């Protein structure tokens, strides 16, 4: 797919104040893409602010050592958006994934540009929508944007992009790993990225609270359809008792995905009272993105998510019942 980056080139040339944001519950693809784009724009002497709809996980803080990414504050939304000429939305293309930041963005007069690799976007999310579902990660697209605009691929940008790509490809293990992603990874390594160090920071930096949380979460392990469908869940009580937070559960679902015979796995996470976030992964032919979309979520064919209102038990009943008809 050949991408026309000229609208973004024009926006960068015409704009002066840029705001960059991404989806709720960000991971390293979201954070790495934001940081890389910000560093590129800052290298052009542009004014840049990075805003996240929800907290940055511990595993991504090394990408933003100075704490430039701020948590969105609804009470300051008007002032924040009035100061922006251009808003970049990266690693999502659905309003629902912006959380409480969605409505202020809809009402803002700032020019919106979306760069994403997910399926089935909300077409009104931006006046410029750059979307390539074949890209393994949003970081792939940010890399190509910077290269196309002859940007300086600094060490900070290279590290952020490498972290982004290894996150969404499972360190080049998942089915979305292609020659395009591998070539970019090789180029970033040639530019000085240390793969073992980035891997350690993203995947091997677990807190004691996270390790303690493993025990109660994995006691909830359930299965159906002869073990082809499996799930785990986490409640806010579990987090409180172990001193963990939402970000400390990163990677838990991959442990279920690795069980022999599992075709679809699900992780139910109680985010707030009456709100459950659901992560879905597929090892086979089941398109979890289509399933998630049917319940107001989205994502990729083999990795998707959605939000369910109600208790964890109610969410499990609703989602598992729907998936049992798809997993055979």
Please report the domains of the chain, with CATH numbers, ordered by start residue: 6-203 (3.90.1640.10), 209-324 (3.10.310.30)
pLDDT of residue 12: 95
Q: How far is CA 132 from CA 32, 120, 125, 145, 266, in A?
A: 18, 11, 15, 12, 26
The model's pTM: 0.89
- Name the stretches of the chain with pLDDT < 70: none
Between CA 213 and CA 239 the distance in angstroms is: 7
| Size (the chain), residues | 328
Q: Which residues contact 111 (CB under 8 A, 6 or more apart)?
A: 11, 15, 85, 86, 87, 127, 128
pLDDT value, residue 265: 97
What kind and span of H or E run contains 107? helix 102-107
**Between the CA of residue 84 and those of 46, 47, 255, what are the distances in Å?**
11, 9, 42
* Per-residue pLDDT at 195: 98
**pLDDT at position 319:** 97
Which pLDDT value is given to residue 285? 81
């Amino acid at each position: 797919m050949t991408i026309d980056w000229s609208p973004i080139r024009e926006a960068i040339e015409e704009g002066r104040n840029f705001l960059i944001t991404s989806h709720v519950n960000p991971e390293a693809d979201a954070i790495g893409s934001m940081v890389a784009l910000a560093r590129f724009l800052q290298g052009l002497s542009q004014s840049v602010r990075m805003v996240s709809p929800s907290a940055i996980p511990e595993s991504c803080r090394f990408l933003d050592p100075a704490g430039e990414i701020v948590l969105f504050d609804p009470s300051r939304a008007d002032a924040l958006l009035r100061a922006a000429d251009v808003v970049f939305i990266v690693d999502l293309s659905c309003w629902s994934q912006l959380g409480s930041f969605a409505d202020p963005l809809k009402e803002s007069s700032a020019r919106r540009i979306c760069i994403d690799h997910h399926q089935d976007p909300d077409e009104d999310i931006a006046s410029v929508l750059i979307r390539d579902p074949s890209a393994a990660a949003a970081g792939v697209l940010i890399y190509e944007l910077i290269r196309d605009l002859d940007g300086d691929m600094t060490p900070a940008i290279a590290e952020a992009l490498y972290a982004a790509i290894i996150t969404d490809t499972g360190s080049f293990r998942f089915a979305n790993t292609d020659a395009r992603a591998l070539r970019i990874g090789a180029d970033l390594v040639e530019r000085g990225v240390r793969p073992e160090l980035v891997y350690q920071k993203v995947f091997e930096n677990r807190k004691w609270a996270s390790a303690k949380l493993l025990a109660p979460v994995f006691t909830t392990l359930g299965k159906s359809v002869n073990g082809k469908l499996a799930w785990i869940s986490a409640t806010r009580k579990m987090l409180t008792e172990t001193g963990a937070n939402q970000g400390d559960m990163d990677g838990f679902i991959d442990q279920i995905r690795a069980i022999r015979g599992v075709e679809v796995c699900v992780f139910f996470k109680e985010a707030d009272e009456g709100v459950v976030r659901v992560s879905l992964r597929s090892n086979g032919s089941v398109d979890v993105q289509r399933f998630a979309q049917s319940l107001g979520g989205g994502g990729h064919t083999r990795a998707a998510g959605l939000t369910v209102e109600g208790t964890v038990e109610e969410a499990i009943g609703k989602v598992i019942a729907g998936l049992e008809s798809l997993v055979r």
